[in-house]
């Protein structure tokens, strides 16, 4: 049955002897992978969304072939509300404001839904329309975030972020809607698993690290800096820089420091293991210690 799961020629999915010939859509890359590894299919799970669409989640036992550009670059990223991402190299990505852009449409359909009689066909039609609109916004958001995180992973070997307390930030009622719309947790989640996939280093800087209040040039600290201050002006070296850019540069520097500290710790642990081996084996001769040395 596994070998007959797919009708490759007509792009059809066969689930059982009676449920078969289901047309499906996916990227050409994924389709090619499915056909190539169809013998490794373990299970197929069908789910239905509120908008009435069906999705098949296919579990495959096989090698995942992923390609990624070689890079020796590092980047620090400051996450914000007005500017979604500010990179330490000066690039920025604005907040697309998916909900705000579609807010009028959402309110209109929600108002129509409230006027319909419970259980009526008309109410069900409007409910379906509302579900499709919410799904469209969700898909736009997911596609946007996936494009961003994949680009970050492709271009950098070391990515540094602040370890933000998103759940705590949502308790601020004035900012909760904007923060929820941004998808800060989703950005973190995607970067975490994509870093593992592609062998990148993802470093988190403590949320208490004063990235915005510290001068990225000399290290002078401005404890009086407020959220309304959009520029950082150093009273020590005279550095004038955008607040978010200053923060992202500091985040990158702190991340590199943390990473170097971890690497040093790993080397130290490796040395400890080697020394222990020598102590535990006092009869080891010079050849055992240095196998590359000539036995003569």
Q: What amino acid positions are annotated as catalytic residues?
A: 78, 162, 244
Question: Phi and psi (nearest 5°) for 291?
Answer: -65, -15
DSSP string covering 187-247, please?
Answer: HHHHHHHHHHHHT-EEEEE-TTS-TTTB-TTT--B-TT--TT--EEE-TTT--EEEHHHHH
- Spatial distance between the Cα atoms of 194 and 199, rounded to a whole number of angstroms: 8
Q: Is 140 exposed, middle or buried (0-12, 13-18, 19+ CB in 10 A)?
A: middle
- Spatial distance between the Cα atoms of 88 and 185, rounded to a whole number of angstroms: 20
Q: Is 165 exposed, middle or buried (0-12, 13-18, 19+ CB in 10 A)?
A: exposed
Of 165, 189, 171, 184, the closest CA to residue 80 belongs to 184
Coil, strand or helix at 170 = coil
Rg (Cα) of the chain, in Å, rounded?
27
Determine how many CB atoms are found less than 10 A away from the CB of residue 84: 23
- Spatial distance between the Cα atoms of 113 and 124, rounded to a whole number of angstroms: 9
- Spatial distance between the Cα atoms of 150 and 87, rounded to a whole number of angstroms: 15
What separation in angstroms does the CA of 216 have from each of 108, 161, 185, 209? 48, 16, 26, 13
Q: Are 76 and 252 in contact (CB under 8 A)?
A: yes
């Amino acid at each position: 049955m596994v070998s007959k799961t797919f009708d490759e020629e007509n792009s059809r999915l066969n689930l059982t002897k009676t449920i078969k010939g289901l047309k499906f859509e996916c990227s050409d890359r994924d389709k090619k992978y499915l056909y190539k590894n169809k013998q490794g299919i373990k299970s197929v799970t069908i789910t239905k969304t509120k908008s009435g669409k069906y999705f098949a989640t296919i579990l495959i036992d096989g090698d995942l072939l992923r390609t990624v550009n070689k890079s020796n670059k590092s980047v620090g990223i400051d996450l914000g509300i007005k500017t979604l991402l500010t990179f330490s190299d000066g690039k920025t990505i604005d907040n697309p404001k998916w909900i705000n852009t579609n807010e009028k449409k959402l309110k209109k359909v929600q108002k129509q839904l409230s006027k319909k009689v419970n259980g009526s066909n008309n109410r069900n039609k409007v409910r379906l329309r509302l579900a499709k609109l919410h799904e469209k916004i969700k898909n736009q958001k997911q596609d946007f975030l996936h494009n961003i995180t994949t680009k970050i992973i492709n271009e950098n070997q070391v990515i540094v972020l602040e370890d933000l307390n998103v759940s705590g930030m949502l308790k601020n009622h004035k900012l909760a809607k904007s923060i929820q719309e941004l998808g800060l947790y989703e950005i973190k989640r995607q970067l975490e698993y994509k870093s593992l996939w592609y062998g990148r280093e993802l470093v988190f800087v403590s949320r208490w690290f004063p990235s915005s209040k510290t001068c990225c040039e000399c290290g002078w600290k401005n404890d009086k800096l407020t959220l309304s201050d959009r520029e950082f002006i150093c009273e020590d070296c005279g550095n004038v820089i955008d607040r978010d850019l200053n923060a992202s540069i500091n985040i990158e520097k702190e991340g590199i420091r943390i990473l170097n500290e971890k690497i040093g710790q790993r080397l130290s642990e490796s040395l400890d293991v080697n020394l222990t081996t020598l102590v535990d084996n006092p009869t080891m001769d010079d050849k055992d210690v240095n196998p590359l040395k000539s036995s003569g």
